[in-house]
Amino acid sequence: MRPLVLQVSDSYAFGGAERVILQLLEGLDNRWDQALLHPGLGNTSPLIAGAQSLGIRCFGADFPAGLRDLPRLPELVRQIARVRPSVVHVHLSTALGCRFTFLAAKLARVPAIVATAHLVVPVSQPAGRGQWMRTRVIDGTIDRYMAVSNSIRLKLHEQLSVPASKIEVVHNGVALDQFTDTMTDRGRARASNRARQRVVLVVARLVKQKGHRFLIDAAARLPDITFLLAGEGPERSALEWQATSAGVANRVRFLGYCPDVPALLADCDLLVLPSLFEGLPIAVLEAMAARKPVVATAVGGTDEAVVHGETGLLVPPMDGDALADAISTLAADDALAGRFGRCGRARVEAHFRVERMVQRVAALYEQVLA
């Protein structure tokens, strides 16, 4: 019987972590059986639909969110036990996310429990005793952490006191076959048409972390550029109001959730990601794979993918003027943009292939089971 890996997400949104889950569900070889445990409600339909299209068994769960929800824990234990996984792999959008899932997996006597930390929210002061104790309880149930970047590894160790020996960096990856020669030819055709208006793409959930409001500040300084914002989230109304107030609503277009990111990249000139903090953004890796230059903020994780002056330009976070200057530089220099795009593709081929990520995750499963 093949060992079963139960992939777990308690997120009610669809973002980079959920895309990584789908990559694992598709990419792990036939030595592994897999299933998905997800919230029973919420906007997780792209994750569930993607998993079901791969023939993956999906189970909805009512995840406990706090101590008042502890009566739900026994049912979660029973649900995990019924699936009988060899490995529970929990995907964390915050450091303390899914905390009761770890306890449930332990009580269900799962042989190996691993966690991928996709994001750790920066803190300005050491964790209080209550959070420190909760972190210690969680850490005691986890056999191994995967950090998507060296920046996340440091935050786990320094902010949350996770032992360095329990953390392994496994960079996110992208599937290069999504970015075909046809897509590249479409991009070249756009670049050869100097008369057209330049198009900047942003692929990110509409949440404060992603820094869209600073991009709209930059858009006000760039009257000849159109901005396409792909993604949904709770900040949409506020951002639409800001764009209208700044007089750029006709050039800042909100596309909502867009599943075909390669097609969007083929029809843009560059990708911008103005985040305040990051893990390792897949949107940036996809832009590089599509041979598009990148303008992004110099925050941990992003700066492990984008090499300033080689594959794109990095600017300080929360600085609309710096964003505008960098965008203007690349929009005005096709040769520089083309060189950054080619170097970005080469960097992804060397370091951020999805096959490399999947192989390293599978090797970690084998280690913890051994």
CATH of domain 4-173+353-369: 3.40.50.2000
| CA pair distance 45, 250, nearest whole angstrom | 30
DSSP per-residue string spanning 259-289: S-HHHHHHT-SEEEE--SS-S--HHHHHHHH
Closest to 217 measured CA to CA, from 325, 302, 337:
325
Whether residue 86 has pLDDT greater than 90: yes
Q: Provide the pLDDT for residue 362.
A: 97
Kindly state the tokens that stand for 125.
């002061």
Q: CA torsion angle for 13, 14, 15, 20 (degrees, to 10)?
A: 130
| CA pair distance 120, 93, nearest whole angstrom | 7
Contact between residue 307 and residue 347 where contact means Cβ atoms under 8 Å apart: yes
CA contacts within 13 A on the Cβ side of 58:
22
User: Which residues fall within 8 angstroms of residue 324, CB to CB, at 6 or more apart?
Assistant: 217, 218, 219, 221, 222
pLDDT tens for residues 259-316? 899 999 999 999 999 999 999 999 999 999 999 999 999 999 999 999 999 999 999 9
Q: Provide the pLDDT for residue 99.
A: 77
Q: Provide the pLDDT for residue 194.
A: 52
Closest to 119 measured CA to CA, from 170, 145, 155:
155
pLDDT tens for residues 12-43? 888 889 999 999 999 999 999 999 999 876 55
| CA pair distance 166, 164, nearest whole angstrom | 5
Pick one of 3.40.50.150, 3.40.50.360, 3.30.70.940, 3.40.50.2000 as the CATH number of 176-351: 3.40.50.2000
| CA pair distance 62, 76, nearest whole angstrom | 7
pTM tops 0.85, yes or no = yes
Percent of the chain that is helix, strand, coil (3-state, to 5)? 45, 20, 35
pLDDT tens for residues 201-259? 999 999 999 999 999 999 999 999 999 999 999 999 999 999 999 999 999 999 999 98
pLDDT confidence band for 198 (50 / 70 / 90): very high
List, by residue range, all CATH 3.40.50.2000 domains of the chain: 4-173+353-369, 176-351
